[in-house]
């Protein structure tokens, strides 16, 4: 079983137990186990086989048995039993902002609410407002949350979609009749959220029934929605619709291009083809009845007088104009990263120690790692008071003095307070190698107030990076009301680097805004915002965002080697010291 499905089963079990009013310790045991499994670098099956799963903090003997039951049998009897005791849509209620288990239990008990649709109906009828502890204001907030849920319910995070699609692709490629196969659609373009999973395969017509049967019968398939000579659509247990399109081998490159999209990019290409007396569609490129040779996507672009356009950049922005000017420069690759910043440890709310995070970074081949635990106002996340900061500095200094690898930079994710000041005094901020300034509270300030808040923060001489600039949580929360251009102008003026937060729940700065930022000639830096060793690998998603924006290696600070980064940070700190001495804030 995939780790994502295992984690979801354990988490849902805990939620349903909480709805039943079960012992809070039992409830927390399931949530703690789910969280622990999310943060592992090893596979649960391997730990079970080695007999070491129970050594993981948060996974006691009872949960080891539960994990084994799911891994070996594909199901958890307790989970099935609990699901049968509640309406089918009740778990979707947990996705609505502001609704916790106690409130959901009240809604079920008093109003027989069993799904978001039931809840919306009850709100529209004014029945929720009559319940003790709710009222009109709560009812309006619930309606707003339902609207948000409705906008996102058919979308999935890139990080959830990618492993599912890669597994499907691997299985399709195993069939001997499949000459070529690739992922297409928004996933190939590395969009931050994904709808359906799209695959394209080159299969001779005579053998398509075999491949269709394989695809329809893959593990994890709940329902076959349609099956024909050119397309098979299935519904997966993981919540996705998966579409496999089958074409003749000579049509493959054109079909892959067409089904990769985007719609806007394809329209622009069709217009260009028409102006040249050509026709382009999913079957090929034609001059009248004559099919032009298109063995690879590059051939298609070449016939149209264009350089090949990387899939990530096919969004209908300025990629056609850029392709007219010649080959694209080499975009950033994952292997270009030499290190990263903005990672958390058990000093605040991380699940791995400083030493464990460093060891994981070394395995990735990185030269350096920037530790950035939370600042003191983030009490909910174990934010560090000044005395704890100095203790951590001593630990990092000892690591570096011993010549251990990677080199560790002393940093902080420093809260931006409501008035735009930073959470630590200047004399402490000057002791860090770098400072990530981030908003973690008061998300709903008026646009002008929120903008002024961030402008002041990024203008502080000690601000090295602006963390998750918009504050969005994909499929869960929109960003702040904010004049982002004004904030970016201020960051450019002060030299503050705007990060790409590579957490798959954020991917912030958004690729659209990043495109403009890079066109200004400014640098970015790709940070995983990791709270576990496994989370370090999220830089993969940040690289995808950067590529969509057209980033090259030279645009990314953390693609620089260690000594250049040390020199750059040293210059920043010296400048901050000078500005603060002159009274700048």
Please enumerate, as own/partner, the contacts of 160-166 that have beta carbons within 8 Å and a separation of 24 or more: 160/4, 160/194, 160/238, 160/504, 161/187, 161/194, 161/197, 161/240, 162/187, 163/2, 163/4, 164/2, 164/197, 164/220, 164/236, 164/238, 164/240, 164/242, 165/197, 165/199, 165/242
User: Quick one: how far is CA 498 from the chain centroid?
Assistant: 17
Confidence of residue 102 (pLDDT cuts 50, 70, 90): confident
Cis peptide before 390 (omega within 30 of 0): no
pLDDT of residue 124: 85
Considering the entire predicted model, what is its pTM? Answer: 0.78
CATH 3.30.460.10 occupies which residues in the chain? 163-324
Superfamily of domain 163-324: Beta Polymerase, domain 2 (3.30.460.10)
Helix pair 135-152, 116-124: axis angle to 10 deg: 140
Q: Using pLDDT thresholds of 50, 70 and 90, give the confidence band for residue 416.
A: very high
- Give the H/E segment covering residue 187: helix 185-188
Q: Mean pLDDT across the stretch 222-227?
A: 90
- Asked if residue 160 lies in contact with residue 4, where contact means CB atoms within 8 angstroms, the answer is yes
- CATH 3.20.20.140 maps onto the chain at 334-581
Peptide bond into 262 cis (omega under 30): yes
C-alpha to C-alpha distance for 359 and 355, rounded to whole angstroms: 6
Query: In angstroms, rounded to a whole number, what is the distance separating the alpha carbons of residues 35 and 412?
Result: 24
pLDDT of residue 584: 66
pLDDT for the residue numbered 150: 64
pLDDT score for 198: 98
Q: What is the pLDDT of residue 90?
A: 86
Burial of 422 per CB tally in 10 Å (0-12, 13-18, 19+): buried
Burial class (CB within 10 angstroms; exposed 0-12, middle 13-18, buried 19+) of 446: exposed
Tell me how crowded residue 291 is: count the other CB atoms within 10 A of its CB.
14
pLDDT band at 153 (very low <50, low <70, confident <90, very high): low
Domain 334-581 has CATH 3.20.20.140: yes
Q: In this predicted structure, which of 122-126, 407-411, 421-425, 527-531 has the lowest mean pLDDT?
A: 122-126
What are the pLDDT digits (tens) for 338-391? Answer: 999 999 999 998 889 999 999 999 999 999 999 999 999 988 788 999 999 999
What's the confidence (pLDDT) of residue 293? 94
Using the 8-state DSSP alphabet, how is residue 534 labeled?
A: G
| Total Cβ atoms within 10 A of residue 406 | 24
Residues 523 and 555 sit within 8 Å (Cβ to Cβ): yes
Indicate the pLDDT class of residue 41, thresholds 50, 70 and 90: low
Spatial distance between the Cα atoms of 548 and 192, rounded to a whole number of angstroms: 10
Quick check: 18 pLDDT over 60? yes
pLDDT of residue 77: 87
Q: Give me the pLDDT at residue 469, please.
A: 97
Packed helices 447-458 and 484-494: angle between N→C axes, nearest 10 degrees: 10
For 452, the 3-state DSSP assignment is helix
Pick 124 or 542 by higher pLDDT.
542
Q: Does pLDDT of 42 surpass 80?
A: no
Over residues 292-315, the pLDDT tens digits come to: 999 999 999 999 999 999 999 999
Nearest CA among 90, 105, 114 for reference residue 22: 105
Average pLDDT score, the chain? 92
Kindly report, residue by residue over 176-200, the tens digit of the pLDDT: 999 999 999 999 999 999 999 999 9
CATH number of the 3-152 domain: 1.10.150.110
Q: Convert the pLDDT of each residue in 432-448 to its tens digit.
A: 999 999 999 888 899 99
**What are the C-alpha distances in Å from 408 to residues 339, 371, 376, 434?**
10, 7, 21, 11
CB 196 within 8 A of CB 241: yes
Domain with CATH 1.10.150.110 in the chain: 3-152
Q: Evaluate if residue 274 carries a pLDDT over 80.
A: yes
pLDDT in tens, 565-583: 999 999 999 999 999 988 7
pLDDT band at residue 246, thresholds of 50, 70 and 90? Answer: very high
């Amino acid at each position: 079983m995939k780790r994502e499905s295992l984690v979801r089963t354990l988490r849902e079990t805990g939620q349903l137990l909480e709805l039943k009013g079960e012992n809070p310790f039992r409830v927390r045991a399931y949530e703690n186990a789910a969280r622990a499994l999310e943060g592992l670098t090893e596979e649960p099956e391997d730990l079970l086989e080695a007999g070491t799963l129970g050594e993981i903090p948060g996974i006691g003997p009872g949960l080891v048995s539960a994990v084994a039951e799911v891994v070996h049998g594909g199901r958890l009897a307790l989970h099935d039993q609990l699901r049968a005791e509640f309406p089918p849509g009740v778990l979707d209620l947990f996705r609505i902002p502001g609704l916790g288990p106690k409130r959901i239990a009240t809604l079920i008990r008093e109003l027989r609410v069993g799904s978001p649709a039931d809840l919306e109906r009850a709100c529209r009828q004014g029945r929720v407002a009559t319940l003790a502890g709710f009222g009109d204001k709560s009812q309006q907030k619930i309606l707003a949350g339902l609207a948000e849920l409705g906008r996102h319910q058919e979308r999935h995070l890139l990080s959830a979609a990618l492993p599912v699609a890669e597994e499907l692709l691997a299985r399709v490629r195993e069939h001997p009749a499949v000459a070529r196969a690739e992922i297409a659609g928004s996933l190939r373009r590395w969009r931050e959220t994904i709808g359906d999973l799209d695959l394209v395969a080159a299969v001779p017509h005579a053998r398509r029934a075999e491949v269709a049967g394989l695809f329809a019968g893959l593990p994890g398939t709940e329902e076959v929605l349609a099956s024909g000579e050119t397309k098979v659509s299935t519904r997966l247990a993981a919540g996705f619709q998966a579409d496999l399109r089958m074409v003749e081998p000579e049509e493959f490159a054109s079909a892959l291009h067409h089904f990769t999209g985007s719609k806007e990019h394809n329209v622009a290409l069709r217009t260009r083809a028409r102006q040249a007396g050509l026709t382009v569609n999913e079957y090929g490129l034609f001059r009248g009845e004559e099919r032009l040779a298109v063995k690879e996507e590059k051939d298609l672009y070449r016939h149209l007088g264009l350089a090949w356009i990387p899939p990530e950049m096919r969004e209908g922005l300025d990629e056609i104009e850029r392709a007219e000017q010649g080959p694209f420069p080499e975009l950033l690759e994952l292997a270009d990263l030499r290190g990263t910043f903005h990672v958390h440890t058990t000093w605040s709310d991380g699940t791995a120690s400083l030493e464990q995070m460093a060891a994981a970074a070394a395995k990735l081949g990185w030269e350096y790692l920037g530790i950035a635990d939370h600042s003191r106002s983030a009490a909910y996340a174990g934010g560090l008071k000044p005395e704890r900061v100095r203790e951590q500095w001593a630990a990092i200094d000892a690591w570096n003095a011993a010549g251990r690898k990677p080199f560790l930079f002393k940093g902080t994710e420093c809260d931006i307070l409501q008035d735009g000041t930073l959470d630590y005094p200047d004399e402490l901020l000057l002791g860090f190698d770098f400072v990530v300034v981030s908003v973690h509270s008061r998300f709903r300030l008026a646009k002008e107030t929120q903008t002024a808040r961030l402008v002041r923060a990024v203008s502080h001489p000690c601000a090295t990076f602006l963390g998750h600039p918009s504050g969005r949580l994909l499929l869960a929360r929109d960003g702040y009301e904010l004049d982002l251009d004004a904030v970016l102008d201020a960051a450019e003026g002060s030299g503050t680097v705007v990060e790409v937060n590579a957490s798959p729940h954020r991917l912030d700065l958004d690729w659209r805004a990043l495109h403009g930022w890079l066109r200004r000639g400014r640098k970015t830096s790709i940070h995983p915002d990791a709270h576990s060793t496994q989370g370090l690998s999220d830089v993969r998603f940040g690289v995808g965002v950067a590529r969509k924006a057209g980033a090259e290696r030279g645009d990314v600070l953390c693609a620089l080697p260690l000594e250049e980064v040390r020199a750059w940070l040293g210059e920043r700190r010296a400048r901050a010291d000078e500005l603060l001495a002159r009274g700048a804030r």
